[in-house]
A and B are shown apart, each in its own frame.
Chain A
């Protein structure tokens, strides 16, 4: 039991905007309406109280991220070491923090829930083992489906009903929370050394299946299965100049479905090539604003050195050719692909300057903060612990101007950022960091401070030094337990793993088993992750009622 007294509370899901009020935490680690007056008190007068942050799109565990960790010793050497104490294990922060460090660093910044956004089904067991070793955070994971050969074969044959059954079985087998699509069809084409650029051109190796067909089918399956989180989509043509047309066409194809567009920044470029690349954030935002079924996360970029990790194999090969640096190509034997390329975003580079601006432009131009979440597509755009820098850029237009004035003049002419004067309020920051992403994920007990919610609370010392304020919370509580006190880790409780278990026809197992024996190198029995292998597993029920209305749309 704990009463948090006297803080200014920002709880957008309950419409509370900076009111001074008490927050009561019950014995069960959930927020309650009242507490007996003798309950212990944490006095936070003058502080700002937020719901714990929720990251809707990040890469914090699994085979690909681990491969990236192994590939960048030169970045680890510069990383901040975390030394062992009674409360914590040793680790490294930096661009790809180690498992335990990931939990500590996220919590140290006030984030308490994260969605690992790209898990190949074959690597699900590995991913769950890493996530189990990522303390404090509650986690969800999305499995990669858009280049799965068994699914694509079924779509080719027009067997959509069976494809949906297979998808439901996959979700249960991987103990996953949602469906991720990465460069639909393009990664399947990558296995032939190709890619899918056009949304309506057949995927290499298929006659009927096109990227448009794949995304529409997957979005429909997610809606029909009433998954709490809609299709989590990484569109085709990521990172390419002029890809705005592909993105808009994808949005048109998906009109009427619930869809989450991941790292939208990477999909909002105009121009024809690298020399003419420009911002198309305005076009994307205009379309997006009028389609309330869509949500997105920013995937913002900050200047500096990082490592890019994505299932988008063909794109990563191109990036490798552009940089001439290291390249890891993996998972092509898997139900997906993957590339790892270390990368440095440079202020002086025009394409990088455009990328930096587009992330901010989308956050500023999309007028409903409930539908755009703050992310950097960690570690692709920047490491997640740099979120406070983005918050600073969003909340202070003068500071933002100072920064864009540093960009090359040629780049500035291709942006809309100089025209934008919007400044985020604390209320809106609470939406894009916590309330919004929790709603996008369909986690009703996250991202707010109403009775029944998990007592994941972050308390900041109010300050005009915005970056400092958000980087160093005064207190962080997870499920009612004080985990961070003035920068010191006090406790490191294990987090929960949320998954869905949509119903499927048991006969689908008999369909999959022979395919497995024919094509896979592991036995069918070893493929699913058993529930007892996932510590603190919690099954989330399907959303009921008209799904689109309950999980998206502004306000309550």
Chain B
């Protein structure tokens, strides 16, 4: 299991790690080698959170350097310019900053920068350093990679695309915002480190994979989708779940409102295994890899969700 990156993992180490190739279905076409790149480097750490939802390939594509520099960001309640906080470097020809092919790199300690990649639908966003809350919220396509840790609410209410966090993630991963009926409706979130509370809260479709341990209420009130927990979970996993699947490779302490169904080897696990293989994630699915205990719940709702807990082959 990979150790979570910390804020010390900054560009030098992070960029040395090759980004795994995702299957085409999850990412769309990868940008070609000489596709234009836009590099934003945080010059000064904001004293209060900086809301920078303009940093998405959608918003930045087609702009010239002056246009990019003038984009609005909010420092607390004050409206500022993007170049008040970021140095802007363009490689490739600006006029080729077309939609689809744009790759945006952001460097620095972004732990107080919120809403990066909000609502993005295409392109790539590569973040070298820790990043703040609401990363990739509402995103519908494209790909975000974070070489560092991410704050709470990453991928909240997303509908498509891929978020790969190489460090730890916060809570409410792919969750529904307070009051909303539905959290993520599609797409994939991968976390190499640990994650916090209420991951996948009210999720309806899509996949969340966490290598490290997660905290309480994973899959709270989920109505669909899949959560794969490679490193275990704390309490009340799957509470109020109505539908959907939680797969755990370690024993879990389950709520008493889950009923035991059977020990079996679900055929669909091999599809997930093949989907996740390019990311270096292995799901036991072979004939000698053991079985899964299937638990059904949450019967307090009552719901028809399932929690699958891996039982390794003895001996």
A325 at the interface (CB under 8 A from B): yes
Name the distance in Å between A119's Cβ and chain B's nearest Cβ: 26
Number of interface residues of A (CB under 8 A): 6
Identify the stretch in A20-28, A69-77, A269-277 within 8 Å (CB) of chain B at 4 or more residues.
A69-77
Contacts of B178 in A (CB 8 A): 73-74
- On whether the beta carbons of A73 and B181 are closer than 8 Å, the reply is no
Q: Name B178's closest neighbour in chain A (CB-CB).
A: A73
- On whether the beta carbons of A325 and B181 are closer than 8 Å, the reply is yes
Contacts of B181 in A (CB 8 A): 74, 325
Name the distance in Å between B235's Cβ and chain A's nearest Cβ: 25
Q: How far is the CA of A73 from the CA of B181 in the complex (A)?
A: 11
A68-95 CB contacts (< 8 Å) to partner B: 71-74, 77
Contacts of B86 in A (CB 8 A): none
Number of interface residues of B (CB under 8 A): 5
Cβ proximity bits A49-81 to B, threshold 8 Å, 1 near / 0 not: 000000000000000000000011110010000
Contacts of B315 in A (CB 8 A): none
B170-229 CB contacts (< 8 Å) to partner A: 177-181
**Most B CB atoms within 10 A — which of A72, A77, A325?**
A77
Q: Name A325's closest neighbour in chain B (CB-CB).
A: B181
Q: How far is the CA of A72 from the CA of B177 in the complex (A)?
A: 11
Contacts of A71 in B (CB 8 A): 179
Q: How many A-B residue pairs have CB under 8 A?
A: 12
Q: Which secondary structure characterizes the binding site on chain B?
A: loop
Q: How far is the CA of A71 from the CA of B180 in the complex (A)?
A: 10
Q: How far is the CA of A73 from the CA of B177 in the complex (A)?
A: 9
B116-155 CB contacts (< 8 Å) to partner A: none
Contacts of B180 in A (CB 8 A): 74
Name the distance in Å between B209's Cβ and chain A's nearest Cβ: 27
Contacts of A74 in B (CB 8 A): 177-181
Contacts of A77 in B (CB 8 A): 177
Contacts of A73 in B (CB 8 A): 177-179
Contacts of B179 in A (CB 8 A): 71-74
Name the distance in Å between A344's Cβ and chain B's nearest Cβ: 9
Name the distance in Å between A131's Cβ and chain B's nearest Cβ: 26
Name the distance in Å between A327's Cβ and chain B's nearest Cβ: 13
**Most B CB atoms within 10 A — which of A71, A72, A73, A74?**
A74
Q: How far is the CA of A74 from the CA of B181 in the complex (A)?
A: 8
Name the distance in Å between B242's Cβ and chain A's nearest Cβ: 9
Q: How far is the CA of A556 from the CA of B246 in the complex (A)?
A: 70
A306-354 CB contacts (< 8 Å) to partner B: 325
Q: How far is the CA of A73 from the CA of B180 in the complex (A)?
A: 8
Cβ proximity bits A441-468 to B, threshold 8 Å, 1 near / 0 not: 0000000000000000000000000000
Contacts of B177 in A (CB 8 A): 73-74, 77
Contacts of A72 in B (CB 8 A): 179
Cβ proximity bits A421-445 to B, threshold 8 Å, 1 near / 0 not: 0000000000000000000000000
Name the distance in Å between B201's Cβ and chain A's nearest Cβ: 13
Name the distance in Å between A142's Cβ and chain B's nearest Cβ: 30
Q: Name B242's closest neighbour in chain A (CB-CB).
A: A324
Q: How far is the CA of A97 from the CA of B177 in the complex (A)?
A: 20
Q: Name A75's closest neighbour in chain B (CB-CB).
A: B179
Q: How far is the CA of A77 from the CA of B179 in the complex (A)?
A: 10
Q: How far is the CA of A185 from the CA of B130 in the complex (A)?
A: 61
Q: Name A326's closest neighbour in chain B (CB-CB).
A: B179
9 other A-B residue contacts (CB within 8 Å) besides A72-B179, A74-B181, A325-B181: A71-B179, A73-B177, A73-B178, A73-B179, A74-B177, A74-B178, A74-B179, A74-B180, A77-B177
A-B pairs, top 8 by smallest CB distance, nearest first, are A73-B179, A74-B179, A74-B180, A73-B178, A72-B179, A74-B177, A325-B181, A77-B177
Give 12 pairs: A residue, B residue, CB < 8 Å, sorted on A. Answer: A71-B179, A72-B179, A73-B177, A73-B178, A73-B179, A74-B177, A74-B178, A74-B179, A74-B180, A74-B181, A77-B177, A325-B181
